[in-house]
Chains A and B, each alone.
Chain A
Amino acid sequence: MAEVISVSALNRYVKTLLDANDLLFDLALRGEIANFVQNARSGHCYFSLRDETASVKAVMFRSDARRLGFRPEEGMKVVVRCRVTLYERDGAFQVYVNDMFPDGIGSAQLAFEQLKAKLDQEGLFAPEHKKPLPQFPRCIGLVTSKTGAALQDIRNVIGRRWPAVKLLLCPVNVQGFEAADEIAAAIDRLDKSGRVDEIIVARGGGSREDLWVFNAERIARAAYRCKTPLISAIGHEIDFTILDFVADQRAPTPSAAAELAVPDRAEYARKLFILEENIHNSIQNKLELCYNRLDETAQAFSRPQMQGQLAQRQQQLQMLTGQLSAAARAKQQSCALQMNHAASLAASLNPYGVLARGYALVQDEKGRICAPDALRAGQSITLCGAKNRIRCTVDAVEEPNESTQKL
């Protein structure tokens, strides 16, 4: 008969057998998660892996579980790397999981699509809910790892573009499924602090699994709740996470997020310069316009222009003078004509003209012209002809008779 041993000895013995097996030491195992429990205090995860016909107990310690990019869910198909050994106390063998991957990404992708569809229907991605980013933020809240490259990238870009802005870091784990709670809480905290006017949730590059945590529903809800404009910058990939859809702006990288978050001071310096130049030009133009207007008007008052005005008046004066002298000349001519008429009329009445035709004037002794009926016999008279004077004495005065009268 064989040796009698204790239960403890048996379990210890079987454990050594299992531990000695190289195959069981590092095993890849496919199965579906069932009865998943995480111990709230220790953080260790307990669950079963099963297929259609069998199941095995599994443990994943906190130190391993925290590196997981996704939250293991009931019924999720996974592949785990594990070591198989015996739990001595219960005499049950179980698998100790080091790492876990969604099986063929299929189920995880399915979960992703389902969650995305659900949140989309709820309106979490609605464009009208997206808030515009502030043009000139004063303080930006960062939700990222304290030690990650993302933080450094963001600091570099912001330091170069807009150093005036303050950064308020809310350090979080960006890996492992526990990170989801931390990230969601950090978004809430920064939003409620009232100290930031923009939030960047960032994580540097990593595998699809590494970034998986940003598909967590609680992060999506925290981002949706957030009243502060939020930029997501997850990884360096073209793949979108759920957070990218909820965020007000999505940046492909942390550096790109920083560029979105702040204006570029070089660009603003350029704009300012152009503005300054335009203002300068416009005031110069204004001045020039005023000068031109004044010059034009002053031109009208220049000496030549005034001389012209004077010349015009001079011409008027000259014309008037000319008209005056012409009028005077005409007047004088008409007077002369009148006088000639009078003169010729006078000449026709000249008594000497009669004498020239052979008549004579009778003058008495005293030279007075006397009519023939005033003459008396014996009177001395003078007959004045045109060419000479004849002294005569009146012989007789006879009354005219019939015969002479008929003559």
Chain B
Amino acid sequence: MRAPKSFEEGMNRLEAILDQMQQPETTLAESVKLYAEAASLTEYCRNTLEKASLQLDEIDAKCAEAQTPEADH
């Protein structure tokens, strides 16, 4: 189980895992292993989104800061 390179890759893997878990021939032991992988992928994806959201906030804040002095003119 390697770490995904991007949010999209993580999501694709998650969806693949879900599909696999729904297959009747998947054993319980395999399901538990997949469940564990899904948990860590979900965490990765959530963190990636949080990070992106934070970055947007930072950029917005920087922009607002740059615009304020001009408004005094």
Q: How far is the CB of B30 from chain A (nearest CB, A)?
A: 12
B56 and A283 contacting across the interface, CB-CB below 8 Å: yes
Q: How far is the CB of A363 from chain B (nearest CB, A)?
A: 72
- CB-defined contacts of B15 to chain A, threshold 8 Å: 297
Mostly, the B contact residues are helix
* Alpha-carbon separation in the docked complex, A294 to B38 (Å): 11
Mostly, the A contact residues are helix
- For window 20-68 of B, CB contacts with A under 8 Å fall at 21, 28, 31, 35, 38-39, 42, 45-46, 49, 52-53, 56, 60
Interface presence of A131 (CB below 8 A): no
B18 and A300 contacting across the interface, CB-CB below 8 Å: yes
B11 and A287 contacting across the interface, CB-CB below 8 Å: no
* Alpha-carbon separation in the docked complex, A291 to B60 (Å): 20
B11 and A294 contacting across the interface, CB-CB below 8 Å: yes
How many chain-A residues does the 8 Å CB contact rule pick out?
Answer: 15
Chain B interface: which size bin? 10 to 19
* Alpha-carbon separation in the docked complex, A283 to B53 (Å): 9
* Alpha-carbon separation in the docked complex, A301 to B10 (Å): 14
Q: How far is the CB of B18 from chain A (nearest CB, A)?
A: 5
Interface presence of A313 (CB below 8 A): yes
A301 and B42 contacting across the interface, CB-CB below 8 Å: yes
Determine which of A283, A284, A297, A309 lies in contact with B31 in the assembled complex, contact meaning CB atoms within 8 Å.
A309
- CB-defined contacts of B53 to chain A, threshold 8 Å: 287
- CB-defined contacts of A313 to chain B, threshold 8 Å: 28
Q: How far is the CB of B24 from chain A (nearest CB, A)?
A: 10
Which of chain A's residues has its CB closest to B32's CB? A306
- From known contacts A280-B60, A301-B38, A306-B35, infer whether A287 and B52 are also in contact, taking CB-CB under 8 Å: yes
B11 and A293 contacting across the interface, CB-CB below 8 Å: yes
* Alpha-carbon separation in the docked complex, A290 to B44 (Å): 13
- For window 300-315 of A, CB contacts with B under 8 Å fall at 300-301, 306, 309, 313
* Alpha-carbon separation in the docked complex, A389 to B36 (Å): 86
* Alpha-carbon separation in the docked complex, A229 to B46 (Å): 56
- CB-defined contacts of B38 to chain A, threshold 8 Å: 301
Interface presence of A371 (CB below 8 A): no
Q: How far is the CB of B12 from chain A (nearest CB, A)?
A: 10
12 residue pairs of the A-B complex, CB under 8 angstroms, read A283-B56, A284-B56, A290-B7, A290-B11, A297-B11, A297-B14, A298-B14, A300-B18, A301-B14, A301-B35, A306-B35, A309-B21
Known: A300-B18, A301-B39. 13 other contacts (CB 8 A): A284-B56, A290-B11, A290-B52, A291-B49, A294-B14, A294-B42, A294-B45, A297-B11, A301-B14, A301-B35, A306-B35, A309-B21, A309-B31
Closest 4 CB pairs of A and B: A301-B38, A298-B42, A297-B14, A294-B45
